[in-house]
Chain A
Amino acid sequence: DAGITQSPRHKVTETGTPVTLRCHQTENHRYMYWYRQDPGHGLRLIHYSYGVKDTDKGEVSDGYSVSRSKTEDFLLTLESATSSQTSVYFCAISESMDSSEAFFGQGTRLTVV
C-alpha cells in the first residue's frame, strides 16, 4: 500500500463545530486530493493540491477549506460542521498530473450529530 495515513479514522462531532482531518503521505507525491464518499454518489472531489500552498476547489467544496504547508501533509477543515457533511472522507495522492493512477488512504468516517 502507498504510504498514506489519514487521521483520525473515526470522529463524531457536533453541528457547528470546526473539524480538521489530516492526510499524511510518505511518497513525496506532488498531487493530493480530498474526496467524500456517499451512497448513490460514489466519490466526489472536494479540494485538491498541486503543490505546497497550491490548492483548488473540486466539485463539492462548499463548507470546506484545505491547507498544504508541507509536501507530505494535506489538511481538510470543515469550518462549521453540518449533518450533510456526515460522510466517509478519503485522501488520495498521485505522482504526476498525466497518466499516473491515484492511491487512496483508508478513509475517515465522520459523523456530525
Chain B
Amino acid sequence: AQSVAQPEDQVNVAEGNPLTVKCTYSVSGNPYLFWYVQYPNRGLQFLLKYITGDNLVKGSYGFEAEFNKSQTSFHLKKPSALVSDSALYFCAVRDGGFQKLVFGTGTRLLVSP
C-alpha cells in the first residue's frame, strides 16, 4: 500500500528564514505526490504536485518541493517564511486510481514574527 510519513509534528521558524517541512513516501511504481495546506477552520488547499518531470516543483504562495527518488522524499520548502504561512501542512500520495489520496499525519508550521 502507498503511504507517506511526516516525521515532525511541528516546525518552528522565524519570519524571513527559509522553511522546510519534511515528507517521505513509500510506493510501488511511480509516485504521484501532493502538498496541501489547512488554515484554521478551513478545508485543505492544494499547494503543488509532483507527477513526473523536473524534481523541483513550484507551487502556490511561493512554495516549492523537491522530489528525491533515491531518498524517497518530497520536502516542502520556501526561501523566506511569512507569519501568514502558519498553518497545518499535509503531504499526500495517490493510491491507485480515481485520485484517492493517502495523507500523512500533518505538520504544524509556526512562523514567529
User: Which chain B residues in 45-72 approach chain A with CB under 8 Å?
Assistant: 45-46, 49, 51
A33 to B102, CA, bound (A): 12
Range, interface on chain A: 20 to 34
A102 adjacent to B99 (CB under 8 Å): yes
A42 adjacent to B103 (CB under 8 Å): yes
B95 to chain A: closest CB distance in Å?
Answer: 8
Q: Taking A40-B105, A42-B105 as contacts, is the C-beta distance between A107 and B100 under 8 angstroms?
A: no
A94 interface contact, C-beta 8 A = yes
Q: Taking A50-B98, A104-B44 as contacts, is the C-beta distance between A99 and B103 under 8 angstroms?
A: no
A96 to B99, CA, bound (A): 8
B74 interface contact, C-beta 8 A = no
B99 adjacent to A31 (CB under 8 Å): yes
11 residue pairs bridging A and B, Cβ less than 8 Å apart: A42-B90, A43-B101, A48-B100, A94-B99, A97-B97, A97-B99, A99-B32, A99-B49, A102-B101, A105-B43, A106-B43
Q: Which residues of B contact A (CB under 8 A)?
A: 32, 34, 36, 41-46, 49, 51, 90, 92, 97-106
Q: Which residues of A contact B (CB under 8 A)?
A: 4, 31, 33, 35, 40-45, 48, 50, 56, 58-59, 90, 92, 94, 96-107
